[in-house]
Structure 1
Amino acid sequence: MKTVIVATRTFGKYSEEPVKLLEKNGFTLLRPEYLDENILKRADAIILGTGKLSGEMIRHSSIKIIARHGVGVDNVDLKTATELGIPVTITPNANTVSVAELTIALILALSRRLIDSYREISEKKFSPVTGIEIFGKTLGIIGFGAIGRETSKRAICLGMKVLACDPYVEKNIIERHSVEAVDLETLLKNSDFVSLHVPLTQSTKHMIGKEQLKMMKKSAFLINTSRGGIVDERALVEALKEGYISGAALDAFEQEPLPEDSILYDCPNLVLTPHAGAHTYEAIYKMNMMSAQAVVDFFDGKIPLHVANEKVVEKLLEMGFLRG
């Protein structure tokens, strides 16, 4: 009997199907309140949400596969996992539509000042708040992967012009989506809304800081539904208080959960959501099933789909694993 640690609150929450998939394949599920060395030594696999899995934790565990319940791997020491031959799988496209739709929702919330309107009417004041139309405005998308592309489709349908910056995507591919490919500075200077859709890496950490915020229009808005560390939060607070930009919306933060004393709470013109981009029934179901299937496939001698550390695939092939 193999044991799987489930370290994400939404696994099996809305459907028993992913739990049954594991159980019928001979797995026992552990749902610890927190991860420590004792727990990690008792399990053969882990389905990991947003919690951290350091190199030391991986080395002192009996984990043979790490199935990320999502697409980012910045919370896993990928180098250590690769050294030990442990595959780290992800669930690409499971939450693509959900995050793209939240991005559009935040653009609309900022443009129509929905939070301000709610505050007015909750105080029994019936005074309409004046916003702006997004029709004819320019959306700049930084990172033109799956979520960036889905966001662009929706923005174009709403009558927006879309610019995109992504050094890893060829210009002709970007333009194929009716989007103009530009460099970062051009995007920042010409966009009415700037939306971030990049992974958190050493090169993207704090890629939006004071210098970049000052490049933006004073009337512009910043939206981040990717990872918290991409935006320098102190620089953003300064930008909003000093009026470098008009507003921002954040769904991800440098520290999560957001601390009670965070400087973001008292910041003007800022919409905050609790890393909810992937929190739809549809996205959660897909992430549940994909992560569970990765664990089942691995212990069935198959190379799981969507292994993030591809060097491990070579090792698995040498060990006799079959491609799924």
Structure 2
Amino acid sequence: MSTALITTPSFGQHSRRPWETLARAGVTTHVPPYAHPLTGEQLAEQLRDTGARALITGLDPVTARVLDAAPRLRVIAKHGVGTDNIDLAAARGRGIRVVNAPGTNTGAVADLTFALLLATVRQIVPGHTSVTSGGWGRYFGPELAGRTLGIIGYGRIGQAVARRARGFDMRVLAYDPYLPTGEALIDLPGLLAAADIVTLHLPMPADGHPVLDRAALTALRPGAYVINTARGGLIDETALAELLHSGHLAGAGLDVYTTEPPGPAGNPLVTAPNTVLTPHCGAFSHQANEAMGTTVAADVVRVLRGEDPAHPVH
């Protein structure tokens, strides 16, 4: 009988189907007694002590050192899409398959992107706070029709955001470093110069450098807004906070951070003006939760049976 170590607390949170998929295949499950994400030391300890052959992970750091503590491990399943936290080369070198759940959270993340965009532009949070505290403030913001949305990263999620933006009669521009420029895509400087709102939907670059560094943020037109539901490291958070305080940027809506959780004193954006901050919950719809869980559970079972997975990362 095989054991799957499940470190992400959202696995099967709103559906029994992912758990049942593993149980029907005779896979036992173990949930560690630590808060997510685990440290490398905690993850290594759990893999070693359980003798797990499968790991279903969220944001835990799956490094080469962690994998050295897991000689029986055969498959790593990312409960989501991005695999930035997994050392793919180390896994490949040890013969460990890596799978994920592409497309399962597209609608959920696109929805949250627009929720953050609307909440930030129309100052929903300070309006709510005003009413609940006994006030009756007046909070103005621009309408979306006719505004230009710059989408950085034009994969499944970026395109889903574009469809929603067109429903609001917005002009859409897109940049993607992995796709050629053309009818729908322009270069990054052109996007930054034209966009009223910029939203990010791409993985971290290989060099680890923020796509929206200080120079890129400064290049945005005065009064622009920034939305990020992709990866915290894509933005220079210190520069973004400074430009929000200075008034060069009008607002920001963020679901992801360089360090998570950002903490009340560990991230300058926590005290920046006109920000809407959510706790990395872009994929937290009921439908996405079930789809992600069942997708990765099915691939874990396939790999443990010696079959090829349906959604291999490698």
Does structure 1 conserve the Cα–Cα contact (< 8 Å) formed by 2:60 and 2:85? yes
Q: Percent identity?
A: 37
Measured against aligned partners, the alpha-carbon deviations of 1:250-297 in whole angstroms (never above 9, x if no partner) come to 100000112231222211111101001001111110110011001111
Does structure 2 conserve the Cα–Cα contact (< 8 Å) formed by 1:4 and 1:27? yes
CA drift at 1:212: 0.6
In structure 2, what is the Cα distance between the partners aligned to 1:141 and 1:197? 7
State the one-letter code of the partner of 1:51: D
What are the ranges of 5 or more consecutive residues in structure 1 without an aligned counterpart? 310-324
* Further displaced range: 30-39 or 298-307: 30-39
State the one-letter code of the partner of 2:302: D
Match of 2:89 among 79, 82, 100: 79
State the one-letter code of the partner of 1:105: A
State the one-letter code of the partner of 2:90: T
CA drift at 1:219: 1.3
TM-score (norm 1): 0.90
Does structure 2 conserve the Cα–Cα contact (< 8 Å) formed by 1:198 and 1:204? no
CA drift at 1:171: 3.8
Q: How many residues are treated as equivalent by the alignment?
A: 303
Q: Partner residue of 1:52?
A: 61
Does structure 1 conserve the Cα–Cα contact (< 8 Å) formed by 2:121 and 2:251? no
Q: Partner residue of 2:126?
A: 116
Q: Secondary structure at the match of 2:269?
A: coil
In structure 2, what is the Cα distance between the partners aligned to 1:211 and 1:278? 30
Matched, 1:303 2:312: no
Alignment of 1:1-324 (within 5 A): 1-34=1-34, 35-41=42-48, 42-61=51-70, 62-172=72-182, 175=183, 180-203=184-207, 205-262=209-266, 263-309=268-314
CA drift at 1:123: 1.9
TM-score (norm 2): 0.93
What are the ranges of 5 or more consecutive residues in structure 2 without an aligned counterpart? 35-41
Measured against aligned partners, the alpha-carbon deviations of 1:193-250 in whole angstroms (never above 9, x if no partner) come to 0000110133463121111111111111000000001111111111111122111111
RMSD of the alignment, in Å? 1.3
CA drift at 1:49: 1.1
In structure 2, what is the Cα distance between the partners aligned to 1:204 and 1:190? 26
In structure 1, what is the Cα distance between the partners aligned to 2:141 and 2:241? 21
Runs of 4+ with deviation above 4 angstroms:
none
Does structure 2 conserve the Cα–Cα contact (< 8 Å) formed by 1:59 and 1:80? no
State the one-letter code of the partner of 1:37: A
CA drift at 1:105: 1.1
In structure 2, what is the Cα distance between the partners aligned to 1:245 and 1:304? 45
Does structure 2 conserve the Cα–Cα contact (< 8 Å) formed by 1:74 and 1:201? no
State the one-letter code of the partner of 2:80: G
CA drift at 1:122: 1.9
Q: Secondary structure at the match of 1:39?
A: helix
Change (3 A) 1:123 1:84: same
Change (3 A) 1:108 1:36: closer
Q: Partner residue of 1:317?
A: none
State the one-letter code of the partner of 2:256: A
In structure 2, what is the Cα distance between the partners aligned to 1:225 and 1:188? 18
